[in-house]
Amino acid sequence: GFVAKPETLPDGTVNLMVWKCVIPGKEGTDWEGGYFPLTVHFSENYPDHPPICKFPAGFFHVNVYDPGAVCLSILGDAWNPSITVPQILVCIQDLLDNPNPISRAQRFIYHLYAKNMPEYKKRVRQQAKRYPSLV
């Protein structure tokens, strides 16, 4: 269910600096059934610096900023040039159902996660329905 491929530009050329990815929600979680689009932006300094990974703006998750950037240690201080794109995608998939409340990116979502888990889970399931499989 994972997808990771370089962006194809309108003229048919391939942009290796931007990858279009899809992360499936894990079975047995509230994320199940969702296929979440993620864009991975590589800089000229890659692999010495981590890529920037972004979900669509407004993505509902404790560790995703409102503009969509993912807050994850391996994409920051814990970056290692040996980390591969598949490893990044699997780590982000794991983060979906196992958010890090210490590294919260959105206060409101964190508040729901910490104080109203039934509502948090309901919103996660609603989001999963907004991103169904394209196949």
> Which residues are marked as active site?
71
Cβ proximity of 39 and 22 under 8 Å: no
Cβ proximity of 25 and 32 under 8 Å: yes
Give me 37's structure tokens. Answer: 């689009």
Whether the link from the prior residue into 10 is cis, omega within 30° of 0, is no
The phi, psi pair for 96, rounded to 5°, reads -50, -50
Residues facing residue 70 across a β-bridge: 64
Helices (H) and strands (E) in the chain, counts: 3, 4
Distance of CA 117 to the CA centre of its chain: 21
